[in-house]
Every structure is written in structure tokens, then in C-alpha cells.
Chain A
Amino acid sequence: MTAAISIENLKKTYDNGHEALKGISLEVQPGDFFALLGPNGAGKSTTIGVIATLVKKTSGKVAVFGKDVDTHVFETKLDLGIVPQEVNFSQFERVRDIVMTQAGYYGLSRKLAAERAETYLRKLGLWDKRMMRSRTLSGGMKRRLMIARALVHEPRLLILDEPTAGVDIELRRSMWEFLTEINRAGTTIILTTHYLEEAEHLCRNIAIIDEGEIIENTSMKRLLSQLDSQVFILDLINELFELPNDTPDGVTLHKIDSHCIEVEVSGSRDLGELFSYLGDRGIQVTSMRNKTNRLEQLFLAKLRDE
């Protein structure tokens, strides 16, 4: 199967000598929901910039659905939708005009552009704001407008560079639903995000990039299975005076306060056994949560290993 995106030995050195990409190679399959993670300055936005032709690569190859972005400019750009990290539309234009204009750049007739603009502005909850100047929109609305704009030509591959940064949780979740829906409908999605919960929730495959190099490229499931242990915070119904001293193998308990304990459980342990053990000792649990996001735990471990 032809990859939705194929990157071969991509290098980018900026004029100031900064080596942003040190020869990365990556493939994303059609229909995938792919996470590209990395700390600030790792090279994520440079990679996206090269794919979008906003950044000139130093060497290497980038192909979109099997076509080289240098030689098949028209086809590859038509297949791509880009949602950048920073707001990049005119602050003086009306919301609908921004989407309509972008449709025009992609060669859509006025009639089709109007239909598509209505479809995507409605889907992203911006139809009521269509006649407003874009500068009057909230941060979340601006991000949704950039998504509507990137989708107006219905690309096969959508790349989102931190689309939910600074967006409140309710809106973030509605954006997740929307992205899941268009991914199910067949659009390949590549996502960069700082919210690792977001990547874990949405993406099937993942690459971690650090200092211009890919340090991990695998499926989300396989990556999460690498976790040696998980740490949970348990809120207790009754007051706990002393921790039991006969903890089973692979379980470590720490008291946080009289109504809260931290439990570290090795990857192979059955959580049912843990709850039986606690119940037998009169410790009743009212709620449980991960201390840190699982992916975040792994992500930090990977970066430390490098």
C-alpha cells in the first residue's frame, strides 16, 4: 500500500547553522491517526513545514501518497491540509471569506466553495460567526476556523500542529470527536500535541522526535506495553492511620494523607487482586486515577534515555 506520507532521510539546517532535522525517516499509512510527539524545538514543526513546502529542506525526500512534493507540486498540495500551530489568517477578513478564499486557492468554484464553507463551518460550530471579523473570535474559535479552512478542499491527509493548544477541555473533547469522525471517514491524520492524553486517546501510531531525530516509531499499543509499572492515586472512604506492611509482590504503597494513598503496581499485576487485598484490610476506595498520564510517563522516560 502506498504510504500517505513517506519521509526519507530528511535533513534541515537553518541559515544560522541550527540543525533542526538530522535525517529523519518516517512512514504514515493511509487512514492512520498518527501522533508526532516531541519536546519544544525537537523538529516537529520543521517537519510539517517541509511537508507543507513552507520550509526548504536541506536534503532528503518527502512523498505524499507516493508522489514527490518537489516534482508533483499540484497533486501533493491538493492532497494536503495543514493546520498550523500559530494563527495564520488575516485578522481583518470575515470568517466565511477566509474559508471561501482558501477554497478558491484550491480551484473550487464559488458555488462549491460556498457549500463546503457552510458544511465545515457548521460542523465546527462557527456558522453563526460566519460574518464576524476573524480578530473578534476567541482562541478556540480561531483554531476551529483553521481546521475548517484546512478541510475545505477535502484533503486525504490532514496535518494538525498542536490544534488544541490553549483550548478549554470541553472544546478540546468536541474537537477530538470531530477529528475521530473525519478519520473514520477515511482522512489520514497526523497530529502534534503537547497533551499526551490527547495523543493516547486519539492516535493508533506514534513517533517521538527529539533533537531532530526519531527516537521511537511504533504503535500506541506497543509503546504503552513498555510501561514497567503504573502509579495510581486512590481516594479512601475511611480514615487510614497506618499502611499495611504485608503488601503483595509488585505492589508498593505510600500514604499521601489520611484519606489518600499512592499505589505503584508492576505492569503484570492484576488490579482485581489489589482491590481484594485492600478490601480485606478494610481499606475502601472511593476513586482512583493515574498519577501521571501513561504516555507522559513513557515519553519522559524515552527523552531521558536519549
Chain B
Amino acid sequence: MSGFPTNHKYIAFETIVIKEVRRFSRIWLQTLVPPAITIGLYFVIFGNLIGRRVGDMGGFQYMDFIVPGLIMMAVIQNSYSNVVSSFFSHKFQRSVEELLVAPVPNYIILSGFVVGGMARGLAVGAIVTLMSLFFTDLHIQNLLLTGSVILLTAMVFSLAGFINALFANSFDDISIIPTFVLTPLIYLGGVFYSAQLLPPFWQGVSALNPIFYMVNTFRYGILGVSDVNTVWAFLILVLFAVALYIGCILLLRRGTGLRS
């Protein structure tokens, strides 16, 4: 079995990342601006207008409470959609063959696309964070936890987007999961409310939602409050990242959706 030289792998990885970042930067009106506007409207409507009447949530003003969740929402949606749309587009145009015929190991292909997805998720997250400063003062309680949760979350949803793209055969297939699975999970993941407001049954249902843990751990990093045990939540996040990574590598090795 022959090996791939390290320098070669690094150049291939860098090439994929540059290509991915160039792609979403080139179409910034489609990739960076719309999510910023949507989340900005959430700030204005839910945080500012309705939030004033809601009062406190989890011991904080409603606007302060929802900011971490909205940043997280932006990161999740954009990491996922960047990878799923970019990789499926490569499949659709068959330009993925450029990569498949080249001496690029599977894990480099995966890492390149995942880092590209994370870059967009974090770019939109940064835009949303800057916008939030117009509405609230952001004081981060635990920078390490906040940073690592946001990075892991971006990674998890980039990996998930990659799997979606591998199985997708049409553009419908890349919108089904975001519309019918991801969006409900995000909205029911404690972005806009504390789980303590829910009856015990629905609190139990929320505990099955992985996004609930991500949002709460991130909120803990910023505000210092959470509905869940953050250590467990962090471990669950790591577990998801590892499981999805292994899943992606196995699918790539089998050639699912790529090799006939």
C-alpha cells in the first residue's frame, strides 16, 4: 500500500478549502447577506419588539437570552447548507470527478469540504454576533467553552451536510433535511425559550434533540446559564462529531453516491 506525501496532502487540502471559501465569497449575496438579514429581523422582532413584553427568561432579559441561540442557529444552518449545496453541486456538474481521479485521500476531501462549511458557518456567525452588539452588550463568561462549542457545532453540521450531499440525487434531496428536520430541531432546541417553561413530558422530548444541547452549552459559555449539564452536552457534541466523521469516511470508502 503506498502512502501520500504530507506536503502533497496539505496542498490538496488547502486547494479544496480555498476553492470552497472562494465559492461562498463569490456569491456573498446568496450566502452571507440573507442569513444576516433573517437573524437581524429576529433581533428586531423577537428580541426587541416582542422581547420587551416577554420580560426575563432564565434570569436574563429576553434579548440577551436569545442572542446565543440565534448565533448558533446561523452557524448550524450555514455550515450545513454550505457543504450540502457545494458538494452536491460538484456531484451534479460532475466536477467531483476532478477530485476522485486525483491522488487525494478521502479524509482530505472530507476535511476540505468540512473546513469550507465551517468557514461559512463561522463567517455568518461572526456577522450575526456583530449585529447583536447593536441590541445588547455581549459578555462572554467562558471563552474556551464558547469557542470550542461553536467550532464543534460547525463541524458536526458540516459533516451532516456532507452525508446529505452524498445520498442526494436531486436538488429536492438537499432541501428536504434542512426544511423538515433541521429547522424544526433548531426551533425546538431552546433558541427562543428555556426548557424550564415546558411541561415535564416536553422537557423529556427536548432532551432527545441534539441541538438543544448545543444551544444550551453555547448559551452557558456566553451567559453562564444552561438547562442541561454542560459537561455531558459537550461530550455528546464530541461524540456526534466523531460518529459523523467515521460515517462520512466509510461512505466515501464505499463510494456511496460517487462511484458506480
Q: Which residues of A come within 8 Å of B, CB atoms?
A: 14-15, 49, 52-56, 67, 71-75, 77-78, 80, 82, 84, 86-92, 97, 101-102, 104-109, 149
Contacts and interface: CB of A to CB of B under 8 A. Distances in A.
Given A52-B97, A67-B2, A90-B90, 9 more contacts: A72-B2, A73-B2, A75-B2, A88-B93, A97-B19, A104-B15, A104-B18, A107-B12, A109-B11
Pick the most buried of B7, B18, B89, B98: most chain A CB atoms within 10 A of its CB.
B98
11 contacts: A52-B100, A54-B101, A74-B103, A77-B101, A77-B102, A78-B103, A105-B12, A105-B16, A105-B99, A107-B5, A107-B11
Interface of B: 1-5, 7-9, 11-12, 14-16, 18-19, 22-23, 26, 89-90, 93-95, 97-104, 255, 259-260
Contacts of A106: 8, 12, 102-103
Nearest to B15: A104
Nearest to A51: B101
A231 B109 CA distance: 55
B2 A14 contact: no
Contacts of B98: 88-89, 101-102, 105, 149
A93 to B, nearest CB: 8
A88 B14 contact: no
Contact of A56 (B19, B101, B260): B260
Contacts of A74: 2-5, 8, 103
Contact of A91 (B2, B93, B259): B93
A55 B260 contact: yes
B259 A80 contact: no
Contact of B95 (A49, A52, A90): A90
Contacts of B16: 104-105
Contacts of B11: 104, 107-109
B103 A54 contact: no
The 10 closest A-B pairs by CB, nearest first: A104-B15, A107-B8, A105-B102, A88-B94, A77-B103, A72-B2, A90-B95, A74-B103, A52-B101, A74-B2
Given A56-B255, A74-B103, A107-B11, A84 B97 contact: yes
